[in-house]
Structure 1
Amino acid sequence: MMAASRFNARLLALPFGLRFALRDLLGDPRGFGIFIACIVIGVAAISGVSGLSRSLGEGLAREGRTILGGDASFSMVARSFPPEQRAWFAARGRLSEISLMRAMARRDDGEAALVEIKAVDPDSYPAFGAVALDPALPLAEALAEKDGAFGIVVDPILLARLDVKLGAPLMIGNARVAPRARLDSEPDKLAGGVGFGPRVMMSRAALAATGLETPGAVVRHVTRVTLNGDVSDEAVKDFTKAAGAAFPQAGWETRTRDAVSPQFSRNLERFTQMLTLVALTALVAGGAGVANAVQAFVERKRMQFAVLKALGATGSRVFAIALAQVMAAAAFAILLGLAVGALIPWASAGALRAIAELPITAALDARGAGLGALYGLLVTLIFSLVPLGRAHKIPVAALLRDDPRSIGLARYRIGAALAAAALAGLVMLSSSDIKLGAYYVVAAGAAFALLRGAAWLTMRVARALPRPRDARLRLALANIWRPRSLTPALVVSIGLTQTLLIALALVEGAIHNELARADAGEIPNFFFIDVPKTQTQAFGDFLAEAASGAKIEHVPMMRGRIIEVKGVPVEKITVADDAKWALEGDRGVTFSASVPANSQLVAGDWWPADYDGPPLVSLEQRIAEGLGLALGDEIRVNVLGRETVAKITSLRKVDWRSYGINFVMVFSPNTFAKAPYMELFTIAYGAPTVAARDAIDARLARETAKRFPMIVSVRVKEALAAVDKIAGQLAFAARAAAGLAIVTAILALASAVASGQRARLHDAVVLKTLGATRGWLAVAYGLEFGLVGLVASAIALAAGTGAAWAMVTLLMKIDFAFPVGVVAATTVATLAITVGLGLAGTWRVLSRRPGPELREL
């Protein structure tokens, strides 16, 4: 009693409008269930995705030392660290050195598999964390040389792929090795990036015995330093700066514990934004549910509003009371959504650690929660201002006789438009990739306008059509265009959700189609890496004999990186987002006397075949534009530890989708003709069936491993499968977020049907009195929902296809595919759900007896 008295006292202290609104809402909260559910789902998804991203980011920061293997790491390709550099590092901290490369592991019968080698010093590796082995052995014991074979620990996938057991001898290069244990986990796995083969860990002595470290071979040597004394973030930064100053021409790639994998962090940021936009789509799709719920609320309160106006309340006072109730419900929903979203990182942390081996530290994200709350507030205003405005200017008499006319709604439409503009601005301001945010705003606005226009056109067409003879179809068409029709709400909620689903299905289908291209022989079957230039002729003859009629290409390949652009270090220039990848570590470089295959010259001239002047270079067009380069500009590159300045004489458009031999940088032949380089080969051939092609692949890999044990065979199909697996995991996350949009769309449909119950009840009672049966009415309503759903599906098909085409061809640069079966299944399922929900929502109307209802009309 005392608590109630205190509550009433506080309530009395509020202004009259707010006090009336809260009393009315607390006394009769009916009709806000779907409204609250739509807001809760959207806000929870947005704040939860942001919280999950921050939790992963904090986990990476907290475990940075363990993941990186030290406070800082320095890596070089095809070159070992000179003694003076190692001595400089050792004077300032504890060293842990590893070497990474790809190779072929083979059985005695020649069966081979691509592996990712990590050569370590068991005495210093790992510097932090622990390697988990099965059976549990000390790492030094597992990697020791015994009985004429070096020990290795392997990913269990390799044992299955080669059908061998622990202890069975294998060959890697010229060294005999024996797997002594399964590698369950390695603390620095994330820092190594994506691998195309199973991990093999061996000692550095074993790697030396393989003979794979030949001049020009693609071996990445990494030195990790754990600092002595001060280990603060500032000290780490000072250390890396001092290292760069001490060895300005070292050409190494530097990473620190707070930026273990810049590419991973950037991709995480982009993927988080994508999921946030999908979650926002779910919130916007639920906006139709908000609008329907508010419309039903105004309908239910119309008598109260009429009484208030009759007693002298102004239209503004009535609007304020109604808005206060809606915003109070929205505030409750937003708080509930934030609470649910805050739990998502904790609920997901265990699964992400176990499945993806990601170092996640569950944490709250105030910024994400604030964005979620603002998004929820703006969506509420966008979809509730116009329905609430209907109670402002309508006269008391019109309210009492249920006049559906909209009078004086211009100011409320302007208010909703301003809220929509604020939402678009917030999306842009909070976006890590402004271009992606802009694409979303434009696409969402266009889709919404298209769907609203389609709804309006559908109503006009339905009204203009000749009256059909079938009374059920006649009733269905009338319901489509009648005042307060469900058509706009249904078309928007169905269309937005189906557009999202179709776009996701088509993007995922395009990714899978890239793997299918490998089966069809449209792209190379194999890349052969680290072919010594002394064996170029012999290996080319072998391939021609092994696969008669195959298309064989080969070019020289080295590894290098751009370090200066027009005399400015790359760390100090502004780079376009789509060109940053070209500066991430070492890239493949080559030289050629003619324009390479799969390239088209778009600017400048190619050098003469016998050119022997200063170094010249041809750049890929988009990379050049992203770096702000033009013909005549100079770049400085570090290749194999030597710096070279080259002038840009041409720009090329590269067909990356060919999966052939392509390079960002192609130099004039005289630039690196005497450098120690390897040859890169590709081979492409067809076969009548996939099984026949797989058989050729297996035989070619086996024979290559037997006759050329130093050459690495990368089967393109397997590489694409690795990428496809990652894409599938990302697509699963996107589908989960899209599932929220489906839920909110279903809620919106339910609220739309509920908002039209009163008009349908009137129709059903009259028609039943005239002899209509429940089945007759069900068919009529089914036709109505089916026709509206068909229109929404057609618009969604066009919009979703267009959005997917733009993403696939313009952003992802892969071929567009249209899986008819998936799209058809999505469309049919949407129609079935629409009709099913519509009939389920009207079942209560269909079951009413006409007698009692007629007495209340």
Structure 2
Amino acid sequence: MSEISDTRALSKPQRSSMLLKWSWRELWHGQLWPVAVALTLIIACVFALAALVVRVEKIMVDQGRSMIAADLVFRSADPIEPSLLAQAQSLGLTVSQQTRFGTMAFSDEQMQLVSVKAVDSRFPLRGELVLEGDRRHNQVRPGELWLSERLFSLLAVQPGDLVSIGDAALTVSGRIVTEPELSFNPFSQMPAVLIHASDLAQTGAIQPGSRVRFRAYFSGEDAQLEQLQQAITLAPGQRWISETTQGRTGEMIERARQYLSLTLFLVILMATATLVLTCLHYSATRVAAVAMMKSLGASKRWLWRWLTRQLAMLFSIAAVAGLSLGWLLEFLLRLPLADVLPDPLPEMGLMPLAASLLVALLVAVPGIGISLLRLVDAPAISVIQQQVAWPKNRRGYALIVLPVAAALLWFGSNKFMWLTLAGLAALLVVLAALGLGLVALLKRGAWRSAVRLALSRISRSPLASGAQLAALTSSLMLLAVIWLLRTDLLADWQQTLPADAPNVFALNISPQERERYLDVLDNSGVARSDSYPVIRGRLTAINQQDMLAVSREERDESLRRELNLTWRESIPVHNTLLEGTWATQSGVSVESGIAERLGIALGDELTFHVNSQPFSATVTSLREVEWRNMRPNFYFIFTPDVMAALPATWLLSFRIEAEQSALVNRLGRDFPTVTLLDLRIMATRIQAILQQVSLSLSVLAALGVSSGLLLVLTLLRLSLSQREQEIQLYRTLGASRKRISDTVWSEYGIMALLAGVMAAAGAEVVMASLMIWGFELPVQGHSMLWLVLPLLSLMLVVVIIRSMIRKLLQPLKG
């Protein structure tokens, strides 16, 4: 330290060079290198995770937009206003239009109800349209008529034959191989026909009163798309469609986004805790060195110059190492996804680089700054009296404003994130108090001496022990939450389209053909659902209250249209009875979602109209229905006596494997009046999205869990390091190495078990909160968590103590 007093005799460049050498030596030979490692890991993790999040989100958005054929879609029951199209073009957006209607298609031999889509040459703006005729095309041109695969057998035509659409006789150009705009709703689909918009007028199919739907497709920058949406006031019958509003697929994408953001946030949180703990440990170990420098004449200004240079070098080294490691980590994270990621990959841009450096800086400023402010204020007398107390520099806590302000800007009004933050903060306090309470209860038991000493030490410093327990518990809890969220989301998404889900619906089966149709499926070894009678009707009154008295715009969506009604003697196997009993007479079972929206309860009387004929039934049960399983599902299921006398057609769904494709054409040919809705293309596309998202979330969850494990290991390592002086004191007072070793093992074993059990309880609470208010999914318990977390905690304790106990006891030799 004598060099400090000699610096006054040196020139300014010499002093600067010497200060740089001291800073470099302190960086690598002092205790600051763990801080550099923690900062490197923060930068690497944030860079890798942010890069993967950017890529995965772009892929999900692209997939979602491919399914609506554009970046944004405007749907209307009336023709699209020219002013809307003009405004979109003025914003630099690419525009395409579509007119869609149902009509009959006639060939020389057959006729079939079809869904005609009249599109322009720019359609689709997103996604893939593959048309196969004399050669492959991806756009519809004037004079062309393209049919879906099934229509060739239903209409008994080949390319080159004439098919009449309204007044127009058009020549079949070929078949539709692939098209976007797929839907989960089988009742909304008919075999598709594509024509060019310029041929629409000659069909004469659109007349006053015709049921026609108009769509405008837009593609461009998100800012311009949002500006267009804000400029348009929607009228009745109009709505915007985006990748996040497209039914269940939109929900999946939105929930995946929430998970990506939450995982990134939790990883940053855990990495920050690792850095702060490391900085506190560094400050505690350097008090004597700073006091010595002060006793030799070092001023605060000189100390700050010395520390600032160390921090500048530290951040530079951490930035280079972290970005390099982050790039490698991002590459490794993509390896499991190589088969499902698109080629070329979406660009990650500069966001991951900027985010990783900015996060590290925002974390480091208060995390390191508060500790160093206290360190620089250490009095010179600390050299000879290490336990001396000195006034705390509370100005340093103002540095916390920086990350808090950044969080406010980042989260904004995101209630999901604020809910997570508030919940974690409250849990930290509760877990600390709960841990100390459990220790107090354990002290009442009869234990051997090592355990009694361990419990005594934990309870002797309640504040420190409570903070340590809370930190350890919250670390285990966070890594559990990351993994459980991933597991529960994937389990929910598997219900979106299970691997064995039906992929073909058969509708309008006449009662006379029903048994023969079922026999064909059964004899062909096809997995099918039960068959259901279907009648279209409206719900008109609840307990004699007219539900159609309010304006159409104010009604629930289920009251604006006819619903599919059915009857059964028993509850469908894929429905769950929530309340009531399954009745056999004059009853109706109601799906729980519509019951909640319309305020329907057990015992209510519901009135329906079918073909202007009214009838009533009493609500006898409420059911939970999973609408995404591709099975026939219904809002209302009646007892047979209520509706069996009404004329109905039958419906069922079944699964066609790749080797059974010919059966679909055979069914279409042998049962021409039955409407077949082939959803195999849609199923393949949804399965691809599910596979991409599932693998991506698994990789992200693994990274989040790794960050949590790093934090737990850091906590345990630093805690044991702080025990060195205490262990020396025990040895001085005559304690044997075995007694000390047994006490350490007992103390950390107790803390590990307590932390594991409390982390399991905390994770269940957090998961329940996130499921109810964040992801809006059913709450479920996780029994294995109560075993896995305590065992994991104990394993980590064993690893850390085994690696450090010998070193801690080594000075006691002799």
Partner in structure 1 of residue 411 of structure 2 = 431
Contact 1:43 1:283 in 2 (8 A): no
Moved more, 439-448 or 795-804: 439-448
* 2:22 corresponds to 1:23: yes
3-state secondary structure, aligned to 1:597: strand
* 2:101 corresponds to 1:139: no
Partner in structure 2 of residue 500 of structure 1 = 478
Give, in whole Å, the separation in 2 of the partners of 1:588 and 1:568: 7
Partner in structure 2 of residue 597 of structure 1 = 590
3-state secondary structure, aligned to 2:778: coil
Alpha-carbon spacing, 1:437–1:508, altered in 2? closer, same or farther (3 Å): closer
The superposition leaves residues 609-646 of structure 1 with CA deviations (integer Å, 9 ceiling, x where unpaired) of 4899xxxxxxxxxxxxxxxxxxxxxxxxxxxxxxxxxx
Give, in whole Å, the separation in 1 of the partners of 2:744 and 2:665: 63
Give, in whole Å, the separation in 1 of the partners of 2:492 and 2:348: 38
Partner in structure 2 of residue 696 of structure 1 = none
TM-score (ref. length: structure 1): 0.57
Contact 1:284 1:379 in 2 (8 A): no
Partner in structure 1 of residue 318 of structure 2 = 333
Moved more, 292-301 or 503-512: 503-512
3-state secondary structure, aligned to 2:595: strand
Identify which of 799, 816, 827 aligns with 2:762: 799
* 2:11 corresponds to 1:46: no
Deviation, structure 1 residue 799 = 1.4
% identical aligned pairs: 12
Partner in structure 1 of residue 705 of structure 2 = 739
Give, in whole Å, the separation in 2 of the partners of 1:550 and 1:39: 60
Deviation, structure 1 residue 399 = 4.7
The superposition leaves residues 727-774 of structure 1 with CA deviations (integer Å, 9 ceiling, x where unpaired) of 63353144134134234314523641563263266268558x76535x
Alpha-carbon spacing, 1:655–1:119, altered in 2? closer, same or farther (3 Å): same
Contact 1:99 1:204 in 2 (8 A): no
Amino acid at match of 2:426: A
Partner in structure 1 of residue 360 of structure 2 = 376
Deviation, structure 1 residue 126 = 8.6
Give, in whole Å, the separation in 2 of the partners of 1:705 and 1:791: 68
Give, in whole Å, the separation in 2 of the partners of 1:240 and 1:44: 38
Deviation, structure 1 residue 497 = 3.1
Identify which of 715, 728, 737 aligns with 1:772: 737
Deviation, structure 1 residue 840 = 1.6
Contact 1:428 1:438 in 2 (8 A): no
Alpha-carbon spacing, 1:474–1:789, altered in 2? closer, same or farther (3 Å): same
Deviation, structure 1 residue 241 = 12
Deviation, structure 1 residue 800 = 0.8
Alpha-carbon spacing, 1:525–1:812, altered in 2? closer, same or farther (3 Å): same
Give, in whole Å, the separation in 2 of the partners of 1:45 and 1:493: 20
Structure number with greater CO (CA < 8 Å, separation at least 6) is: 1
How large is the RMSD of aligned CA atoms in angstroms?
A: 7.0
Q: How does 1:201-280 map to 2 (within 5 A)?
A: 271-272=256-257, 274-280=259-265
Contact 1:487 1:788 in 2 (8 A): no
Amino acid at match of 1:310: S
3-state secondary structure, aligned to 2:562: strand
Partner in structure 1 of residue 780 of structure 2 = 817
Deviation, structure 1 residue 501 = 3.2
Alpha-carbon spacing, 1:452–1:829, altered in 2? closer, same or farther (3 Å): same
Deviation, structure 1 residue 802 = 1.0
For structure 1, the 5+ residue unaligned runs are 1-6, 102-116, 144-149, 154-168, 206-212, 559-565, 571-581, 613-652, 665-677, 686-698
Alpha-carbon spacing, 1:308–1:748, altered in 2? closer, same or farther (3 Å): same
Partner in structure 2 of residue 36 of structure 1 = 36
Contact 2:365 2:399 in 1 (8 A): yes
Give, in whole Å, the separation in 2 of the partners of 1:795 and 1:41: 27
Contact 2:38 2:271 in 1 (8 A): yes
Identify which of 287, 296, 299 aligns with 2:281: 296
Q: How does 1:179-190 map to 2 (within 5 A)?
A: none
The superposition leaves residues 14-59 of structure 1 with CA deviations (integer Å, 9 ceiling, x where unpaired) of 9xxxx96983354443433432333333333334444455567788
Partner in structure 2 of residue 470 of structure 1 = 449
Alpha-carbon spacing, 1:12–1:602, altered in 2? closer, same or farther (3 Å): same
The superposition leaves residues 394-444 of structure 1 with CA deviations (integer Å, 9 ceiling, x where unpaired) of 6544553432x76534x54x844x555653443232137611121122123
Alpha-carbon spacing, 1:426–1:356, altered in 2? closer, same or farther (3 Å): same
Contact 1:504 1:735 in 2 (8 A): yes
Deviation, structure 1 residue 445 = 1.8
Give, in whole Å, the separation in 1 of the partners of 2:250 and 2:723: 51
Contact 1:481 1:487 in 2 (8 A): yes
Contact 1:97 1:120 in 2 (8 A): yes
TM-score (ref. length: structure 2): 0.60
Deviation, structure 1 residue 235 = 11
Give, in whole Å, the separation in 1 of the partners of 2:348 and 2:764: 38
Alpha-carbon spacing, 1:754–1:604, altered in 2? closer, same or farther (3 Å): closer
Give, in whole Å, the separation in 1 of the partners of 2:307 and 2:461: 22
Alpha-carbon spacing, 1:386–1:470, altered in 2? closer, same or farther (3 Å): farther
Contact 1:753 1:838 in 2 (8 A): no
Contact 2:63 2:689 in 1 (8 A): no
- Number of equivalenced pairs: 678
Q: How does 1:325-474 map to 2 (within 5 A)?
A: 325=310, 329-330=314-315, 332-333=317-318, 336-337=321-322, 340-341=325-326, 355-357=340-342, 360-366=345-351, 369-384=353-368, 387-388=371-372, 391=375, 395-403=379-387, 407-409=390-392, 411-412=393-394, 415-416=396-397, 419-420=399-400, 422-431=402-411, 434-454=414-434, 468-471=447-450, 473-474=451-452
Give, in whole Å, the separation in 1 of the partners of 2:284 and 2:736: 29
Partner in structure 2 of residue 647 of structure 1 = none
The superposition leaves residues 475-494 of structure 1 with CA deviations (integer Å, 9 ceiling, x where unpaired) of 43355356699856753453
Amino acid at match of 1:437: M
Alpha-carbon spacing, 1:318–1:140, altered in 2? closer, same or farther (3 Å): closer
For structure 2, the 5+ residue unaligned runs are 1-9, 103-113, 141-145, 160-174, 196-204, 523-527, 539-549, 566-586, 611-621, 637-646, 655-662
Partner in structure 1 of residue 507 of structure 2 = 531
Deviation, structure 1 residue 504 = 3.7
Alpha-carbon spacing, 1:235–1:772, altered in 2? closer, same or farther (3 Å): closer
Contact 1:98 1:120 in 2 (8 A): yes
Give, in whole Å, the separation in 1 of the partners of 2:123 and 2:462: 69
The superposition leaves residues 262-287 of structure 1 with CA deviations (integer Å, 9 ceiling, x where unpaired) of 76899767745643442332333234
Alpha-carbon spacing, 1:772–1:95, altered in 2? closer, same or farther (3 Å): closer
Deviation, structure 1 residue 834 = 2.6
Give, in whole Å, the separation in 1 of the partners of 2:532 and 2:344: 44
Alpha-carbon spacing, 1:346–1:844, altered in 2? closer, same or farther (3 Å): closer
Amino acid at match of 1:139: R
Amino acid at match of 2:473: G
Identify which of 251, 274, 291 aligns with 1:306: 291
Contact 2:482 2:705 in 1 (8 A): no
* 2:722 corresponds to 1:756: yes
Amino acid at match of 2:35: F
Contact 1:51 1:363 in 2 (8 A): yes
3-state secondary structure, aligned to 2:749: helix
Alpha-carbon spacing, 1:292–1:376, altered in 2? closer, same or farther (3 Å): same
